[in-house]
Homo-oligomer: A and B are copies of this chain.
Amino acid sequence: MAQFNDTSAEIPGTPCLICEHGGLAFCGPGPGDADEPSRLSAMLGQVNLIAHDSVFREGDPATHLYSISQGAVKLYKLLSDGRRQVTAFLFAGDFFGLALDGGYAYTAETMTPALLCRFPRRKLEALFAEVPRLERRLLGLAIDDLAAAHEQMLLLGRKTAREKVASFLVMLDRRAARRGHHGPAVALPMSRSDIADYLGLTIETVSRTLTQFRRDGLIGLPDLGHAVLREADRLRQIADGG
């Protein structure tokens, strides 16, 4: 585990695809500052991973900051007996790996083949002095993550299975739209087991709830990897406790 795919292990200097992603990630170009992206791309490296490969593990020294160029990644934490909590699903344009000297707080694993950009933490910190806007951006992204974490705590602590699954589908749909995916179906690159561990449920409960939504005409399930939100408004209502 944790090996990088041989085909293109690391390509320093190659321009980062996510820099084209409209500023979603921290390496995106900012207004009136054309110099910064080139400085960043000069220090970033790309890593190409196969599906179900681990990027780093909880407790590993936090050497790099990652940004997803292509593919999907999940973050999770484990209890000693193997119980797992998936804390985030990430897609193109998202970043992860923000950590202090204590090491990464979670394990990061690809769900699909993925192309990641990564930045050495040390070099990035040195660059902060020259480009303060960078650190501001990173702080903003951390605050976004924090808000998402609080929202997930509300879900885990206080929502029913039905509300959790509805929230999950609505969240994926909203984020897919933000990335420009406006097709009828939302992609589910994660397994039922991943979904269960994200929502604090079992795979059986996730499966049963999805089936019930399908029977009620709220969603379509054309195949295991996709869901169609037929009654998105109703799902949003369920997600918020209605």
Contact = CB atoms under 8 A, between A and B. Distances in A.
A242 interface: yes
A151 interface: yes
B98 A150 contact: no
A81 to B, nearest CB: 5
Contact of A146 (B98, B128, B136, B159): B98
A129 to B, nearest CB: 7
A190 to B, nearest CB: 15
Interface in A104-160: 105-106, 128-129, 132, 135-136, 138-140, 142-147, 149-154, 156-159
Nearest to A75: B150
A189 interface: no
Contact of A142 (B77, B139, B241): B139
Q: Is the interface of A mostly helix, strand, loop or mixed?
A: helix
Interface stretch (A13-21, A83-91, A174-182): A83-91
A80 B242 CA distance: 8
A99 interface: yes
A142 B144 contact: no
A219 to B, nearest CB: 22
A128 B143 CA distance: 16
A200 interface: yes
Contacts of A42: none
Contacts of A241: 79-81, 83
Interface of A: 75, 77, 79-81, 83-85, 87, 98-100, 102, 105-106, 128-129, 132, 135-136, 138-140, 142-147, 149-154, 156-159, 197-200, 240-242
12 contacts: A79-B158, A80-B241, A83-B159, A85-B154, A105-B146, A128-B136, A135-B139, A145-B146, A153-B153, A157-B199, A157-B200, A158-B197
Given A99-B143, A128-B136, A152-B153, 20 more contacts: A77-B151, A77-B153, A79-B159, A83-B159, A87-B150, A100-B140, A102-B147, A105-B146, A105-B150, A132-B132, A135-B136, A139-B139, A142-B143, A142-B146, A146-B146, A149-B149, A149-B150, A153-B153, A153-B156, A156-B156
